[in-house]
Amino acid sequence: MQIRQILPQIVNQTSWDQAADEDRFEGYLFALVIEAARKENANVRFENRNGPFNGIATFRTSPGHLWSDIHPYTHAVIEFAGKPPLEAHVGVFISGRSRLYHEADVAVVTRSVARTCRADRVDPPYSEAVLLIECKYYASDPGIALGRAFLGLSAECGKEHCVFVTNQRALRLQKLFEEHGREWGHQILPGQNNDVDRLVGFAQRAFTRYKAR
Amino acid sequence: MTSEEIQSTFRELAEIVTTSGLGWILSQVDETVRGGHAVEKPTKIFKEEEQETVFSFNAEQQAPRRGGKPTALMTLEPWPERDQLLFLIDAIRQAVIHAAAVENEQLRLLRSTADVEGVSFMPEGEVTDRGAFRSTGAHDERVHALARMLNELEREVRS
């Protein structure tokens, strides 16, 4: 089998582990959210935690505090005409209805709240979120436990602006989310244009609702 | 492919994946296989009895059942061997080929907003099992070659 020769060479070249695949996926979803904002005529720019963007987008490998200044983490500033600006972040803690902590793989919050969080070293509340994305990159079909966890997360953080996104078809999870009225995006991969467009559309609707406030 | 060929191909591919350091793929496939697939089975439920008569498991199948249409009850069935091999092939595709596409698309989209040289993933805490890495695009021709090999193998399995 020729795969025996070629697979180790590819794997040795760069990071192909589960964590790295998930990190790339979160970065991709962040970029799709930016794309959705641009489609809604937003002006978007990048900023680092400690200053201007320097050409390297720095994202967290595991969820952390929005205010953390350990690394120059990058976020996007999203501006719609006549509306207070928003910020999009990768991998930040959000406090839910029960005031417990949850992890948002991609989160869009108002800039005023984000600035408050940085200044006072506090974490954004779910009520200030415009969009929260749970990202799951799996080599195989994601288990039902992930779906159950998302039901809890979205109950805590507001199901109207939470979406579960995976690269897989995840048929079992689709049934679960449909039954419980949750949003999901499946087969989110480059080239799966229909599925990607549906997800970008969901993000666009979140921005449209924000603009209408 | 015959059943024996499917089994030996699965074993060989699993061994390649493991020795290449991608054992986590195999764990995920194993989890999917162990989970089985849910199917609805039309079933007639036993009639309730006012008083439990002498109960015998052996005679259970012959006990009277409710009349009318059967109820759709759920059961988990094991995945056929062929599907298990297809899961493994697709898992390699997702973990390497699609992941490379995700990396490239992420960079392409970010570059439409700003001049982005690369993406750096950094752990926030000092104690972590997730190390830092930088992605600047995956343009290895060998990834495309692997994609072709997996497609070919999938065709053989399905034939």
Which alpha helices (DSSP H) does chain A contain, by range? 3-13, 18-39, 111-120, 144-157, 171-179, 193-212
**With 80 as the cut, is the pLDDT of residue B127 above it?**
no
Q: Domain segments of chain B: what residues?
A: 1-36+78-124+132-159, 38-77
Containing A135, the helix (H) or strand (E) segment is strand A129-136
Q: What angle do CA A200, A190, B123 make, to 5 degrees?
A: 85
Residue with tokens 């417990």, as numbered in its chain: A100
The rounded percent of chain A whose pLDDT value lies above 70 is: 100
CA distance A134 to A115: 23
CATH of the domain at A80: 3.40.91
Tell which residue, A151, A83, A77, A82, has the closest CA to residue A115.
A77
Determine, yes or no, domain membership for A157.
Answer: yes
Determine, yes or no, domain membership for A2.
Answer: no
CB-CB under 8 Å, A34 with B109: yes
Chain A residues inside the 8 Å CB shell of B119: 27, 56-59
Please indicate, yes or no, whether the overall pTM of this predicted structure exceeds 0.80: yes
Instruction: Give residue A43's pLDDT.
Output: 97
Q: Which two tokens stand for residue A47?
A: 């900023």
CB-CB under 8 Å, A172 with B94: no
Nearest by CB to A8, from B20, B25, B109: name it.
B20
Predicted confidence (pLDDT) per residue in A78-131, tens digit: 999 999 999 999 999 999 999 999 999 999 999 999 999 999 999 999 999 999
Mean per-residue pLDDT of chain B = 89
CA distance A60 to A57: 10
Residue with tokens 């200053």, as numbered in its chain: A51
**With 60 as the cut, is the pLDDT of residue B42 above it?**
yes
B117 vs A: CB within 8 A: yes
Instruction: Please state the domain count of chain A.
Output: 1
User: Quick one: average pLDDT of A17-45?
Assistant: 95
Neighbours of A96 (CB within 10 A): 18
The partner residues of A107 in beta bridges, in order of sequence, read: A89, A132
Q: How far is CA B130 from the centre of its chain?
A: 23
Chain B residues inside the 8 Å CB shell of A146: none
Predicted confidence (pLDDT) per residue in B60-75, tens digit: 777 888 888 999 999 9
CB-CB under 8 Å, A71 with B99: no
**With 90 as the cut, is the pLDDT of residue A147 above it?**
yes
Instruction: Give residue B52's pLDDT.
Output: 64
Of the pLDDT bands very low, low, confident and very high (cuts 50, 70, 90), residue B134 is confident
Domain of A53?
Answer: 15-212
Q: Which of B122, B146, B156, B157 to mutate to test the interface with A (most CBs of A within 10 A)?
A: B122
